[in-house]
Chain A
């Protein structure tokens, strides 16, 4: 990609502040190594909630003699139940990360020569505000798009709504869980939400399709998974890779990648054909069941056998196993489901299997989450956006209910339906999150302005015009977490320690920018404490209480039918839509159908990717504790394939995709734990940004190899498991 050389990645961070000095003798992951605990140490415990991922577990950070020591779960918290995941425990390393951004930076373009200048916050924000005002005058406020991830984006989103743009997007939709939520909405009228409303703990049978619980560490889910396994639940895993969960399964189905929908259809066929489904539930709550039953009649296990590679007997046996435990059988909806471009329909098929098992609303199935009522801050109404969002022109994707990052990118490139001239990016490394990096880079080149707020000099920051260094979560307040779950709760993020350099919290950045944009009417509060107090008071809570306890849990309300919650289905028919009129009206299959996906050409393998427990996306690889636990990724290749290729475990290879894009060198993990037609790697490695000193050049990036993607016609999600790679030996792993 020649384009990369035009704006070279800059060594942001290098030179700006010395790397933390090591302790006198012991080399340290903590900037200032302070040895084991001693009697008489002054300990202070500060409750907050975690930001190592979006799960937002409530935590208690301990400082020792004023310095950050450790972080543990808050026992009051319904999410963490007092125990964090490894990333949350390693959150200490986010603070001590020596690769952190330290001060605002502005690019000074010098005819192709990149040059960054350290500036004050006043200069940086002044420059952004000036350029945004010009943009507003020339192109309208809608020419600004905001990309964000996580709750930390709330205040900036507020500023940009006040500014007048409707173009607010997050990769968590079109690159992650969007299709799932659409598939469930079409079926039950409600989505699975986050944190997922899955009662894993009480499931008697848990079915995982490519969902690698235990490798992805959504804390509550992993805790409940262990509880379910401990209680002897029957686990069924369909995955091309023998995942950690597969190691705990009663039935492991080594499914051919890309054929999950065929398996789901065959399961439905057995459940209906053998009369194993929940007749009572279907009779009371089903819409269009007869037509549905007719539609799935052809998809027998015998039909599915050559498609999926799974024996008909195994398909039947697992379907019967699910039926045996219903309604406490949970076919897990997954989370990262943008695989093949028919993901909303596959997710709908998962919803339909659950519907046949009657698990919606039931103990051991999907509960009705409860949330703590905390009113929003009473802001003045936002200005009416003059033009609709650009990401989904003419409702091309009729079931998209949130903004599409890829739609913004497309509009930025085409200038249609109207030009997008500025991107403001918060806490999401778009180059690792969106498929086809070249398209993203071309879109960035077409911009007048790109601003990135981040904690480390990520790849996306390297392409920005202005980089704003954010305080890490341990140094800042954020908005309240009131997400719905098993118990209603409110939790607070509050500072534990001060920012080491000139980093600032997002609320401060959002407010200061708004003031410079003449939007003071939307910032009646001066400090975030005032904002939080104003939100908490009408809920009968105080900031002082939240600061002391970290989380407040409300009284338990019924969350299952067993506990007395009524079944309601806010679909057009008011029932569970086995047959979807909505889909039929838009020309889509009213009942999911299987369409084969292209297969790897000879000599190529399907590229699959997933998670490791100690990393989140591409955000945590410079965290010294997490980097030490997993410093690089490996490419998983079936041991026979490795042998036949004349390679060996630990050899470095490059992966070359169908379009000739070549990865950085990556070591082979030769393993029995994967099929022969695919390879697998953990996402988030292969960083190229020089400022990410601890991780640059380690492992390979799946994102770089995902040049192709299949767009979901229902909702615009980008299916990414459609790339094929071959191995190039002799990569000569650089030290």
Chain B
């Protein structure tokens, strides 16, 4: 079975937030919440600066603390693509997972359950890319099976320098950034 992940080319990204807005409409994310966001990191002193702009979201970690800490089993790793999901009916809104996520990727949906990026599993099952990937005007995002050495994501990781966020948290995140 596949192990889905993302590879994001920060050289192309302009931080336009199209991914954020596409996620809002695709998934009908309520007002005041979002499942993905943009981070801009600037270092140096004017005018000698460097900048990395990143689109961020749940990392669908291989070692997800949000799953291990969940008292009801609502937070789980889906068989399909190893996507980390929340079962809305089972979730009691205790927020343990919110606290455990080093990426601050989760929020409590106004309907009472913990919510976050689903890698648009409904689209992926239908053979489409997640909405954020499909919409990106800079084509900076790639989605695919990290376990398949022939996949685009695997080949990008083999050929380009990359990093992930907070590797020291030990969660083994599956979103990689090309620099």
Q: Is the CB of A628 within 8 A of B42?
A: no
Binds B, one of A203-211, A246-254, A391-399, A712-720: A246-254
**Contact A675 to B46, CB < 8 A, known contacts A25-B110, A226-B12, A613-B16:** yes
Q: What chain B residues lie within 8 Å of A26 (beta carbons)?
A: 28, 30, 109-111
Asked if A83 is at the interface (CB within 8 A of a chain B CB), the reply is yes
Q: A83-116: which have CB < 8 Å to B? A: 83-86, 89-90, 92
Q: Is the CB of A673 within 8 A of B136?
A: no
Asked if B138 is at the interface (CB within 8 A of a chain A CB), the reply is yes
Q: B16-39: which have CB < 8 Å to A? A: 16-18, 20-22, 24-28, 30-32, 34
Minimal beta-carbon separation of B161 from chain A (angstroms) = 14
CA A35 to CA B122, docked complex, whole Å: 14
Minimal beta-carbon separation of B152 from chain A (angstroms) = 14
Partner of B16, one of A36, A70, A222: A222
Chain B residue with the shortest CB-CB distance to A24: B111
Which interface residue of B11, B25, B26 has the most chain A CB atoms within 10 A? B25
Binds A, one of B49-57, B60-68, B143-151: B49-57
CA A613 to CA B137, docked complex, whole Å: 12
Q: What chain B residues lie within 8 Å of A84 (beta carbons)?
A: 18, 135, 137
Minimal beta-carbon separation of A240 from chain B (angstroms) = 10
**Contact A36 to B46, CB < 8 A, known contacts A89-B21, A226-B137, A614-B21:** no
Chain A residue with the shortest CB-CB distance to B27: A36
Q: What chain A residues lie within 8 Å of B109 (beta carbons)?
A: 26
Asked if B157 is at the interface (CB within 8 A of a chain A CB), the reply is no
Q: What chain B residues lie within 8 Å of A30 (beta carbons)?
A: 28
Q: Is the CB of B9 within 8 A of A230?
A: yes
Partner of A673, one of B12, B21, B42: B42
Q: What chain A residues lie within 8 Å of B16 (beta carbons)?
A: 85-86, 214, 217, 222, 613-614
Q: Is the CB of A27 within 8 A of B30?
A: yes
Partner of A226, one of B14, B51, B110, B111: B14
Asked if B167 is at the interface (CB within 8 A of a chain A CB), the reply is no
**Contact A673 to B11, CB < 8 A, known contacts A89-B25, A222-B137, A629-B21:** no
Minimal beta-carbon separation of A246 from chain B (angstroms) = 8
CA A275 to CA B161, docked complex, whole Å: 39
Q: Is the CB of A222 within 8 A of B28?
A: no
Minimal beta-carbon separation of B101 from chain A (angstroms) = 21
Asked if B15 is at the interface (CB within 8 A of a chain A CB), the reply is yes
Q: Is the CB of B17 within 8 A of A674?
A: no
Q: Is the CB of A27 within 8 A of B137?
A: no
Q: What chain B residues lie within 8 Å of A507 (beta carbons)?
A: none
Asked if A695 is at the interface (CB within 8 A of a chain B CB), the reply is no
Asked if A33 is at the interface (CB within 8 A of a chain B CB), the reply is yes
Asked if A624 is at the interface (CB within 8 A of a chain B CB), the reply is yes
Q: What chain B residues lie within 8 Å of A629 (beta carbons)?
A: 17, 20-21
Q: Is the CB of B138 within 8 A of A223?
A: yes
Which interface residue of A26, A638, A674 has the most chain B CB atoms within 10 A? A26
Q: Is the CB of B21 within 8 A of A626?
A: yes
Q: Is the CB of A85 within 8 A of B12?
A: no
CA A338 to CA B111, docked complex, whole Å: 50
**B-side interface residues, number (CB < 8 Å):** 42
Partner of A674, one of B22, B46, B51: B46
Minimal beta-carbon separation of B78 from chain A (angstroms) = 16
CA A247 to CA B43, docked complex, whole Å: 11
Q: How large is the interface on A (under 10, 10 to 19, 20 to 34, 35 or more residues)?
A: 35 or more
Partner of B53, one of A86, A90, A244: A244
Chain B residue with the shortest CB-CB distance to A90: B21
Asked if A671 is at the interface (CB within 8 A of a chain B CB), the reply is yes
CA A248 to CA B47, docked complex, whole Å: 14
Minimal beta-carbon separation of B135 from chain A (angstroms) = 6
Partner of B15, one of A29, A246, A613: A613
Q: Is the CB of A254 within 8 A of B46?
A: yes
Q: What chain A residues lie within 8 Å of B127 (beta carbons)?
A: none
Q: A221-240: which have CB < 8 Å to B? A: 222-223, 225-227, 229-230
Bits for B116-144, please: 1 = Cβ < 8 Å to A, else 0.
Answer: 00000010000000000011111110000
**Contact A672 to B18, CB < 8 A, known contacts A29-B31, A222-B138, A242-B47:** no
Q: Is the CB of A230 within 8 A of B11?
A: yes
CA A387 to CA B21, docked complex, whole Å: 50
Q: What chain B residues lie within 8 Å of A230 (beta carbons)?
A: 9, 11-12, 139
**Contact A242 to B51, CB < 8 A, known contacts A34-B28, A85-B137, A248-B11:** yes
Minimal beta-carbon separation of B20 from chain A (angstroms) = 6
Which interface residue of A37, A246, A624 has the most chain B CB atoms within 10 A? A37
Q: What chain B residues lie within 8 Å of A73 (beta carbons)?
A: 135
Q: What chain A residues lie within 8 Å of B49 (beta carbons)?
A: 242, 246-247, 252, 672-673
Asked if A219 is at the interface (CB within 8 A of a chain B CB), the reply is yes
**Contact A223 to B139, CB < 8 A, known contacts A28-B30, A628-B32:** yes
**Contact A83 to B25, CB < 8 A, known contacts A26-B30, A222-B16, A628-B31:** no
Q: Is the CB of B31 within 8 A of A244?
A: no
Q: Is the CB of A229 within 8 A of B12?
A: yes
CA A470 to CA B21, docked complex, whole Å: 25
Q: A190-224: which have CB < 8 Å to B? A: 213-215, 217, 219, 222-223
Partner of A625, one of B9, B24, B51: B24
Q: What chain A residues lie within 8 Å of B46 (beta carbons)?
A: 242, 254, 638, 672-675
Q: Is the CB of A613 within 8 A of B25?
A: no
Q: Is the CB of B139 within 8 A of A247?
A: no
Q: What chain B residues lie within 8 Å of A254 (beta carbons)?
A: 46-47
Q: What chain B residues lie within 8 Å of A674 (beta carbons)?
A: 46
Q: Is the CB of A70 within 8 A of B140?
A: no
Minimal beta-carbon separation of B91 from chain A (angstroms) = 14
Query: Which A-B residue pairs are the 4 nearest by beta carbons?
Result: A214-B14, A226-B138, A247-B51, A613-B16
> What are 20 contact pairs spanning A and B, CB under 8 A?
A26-B111, A28-B30, A36-B27, A37-B122, A70-B26, A84-B137, A86-B21, A90-B21, A219-B137, A223-B138, A223-B139, A226-B138, A226-B139, A226-B140, A245-B14, A252-B47, A613-B17, A614-B21, A625-B25, A630-B17
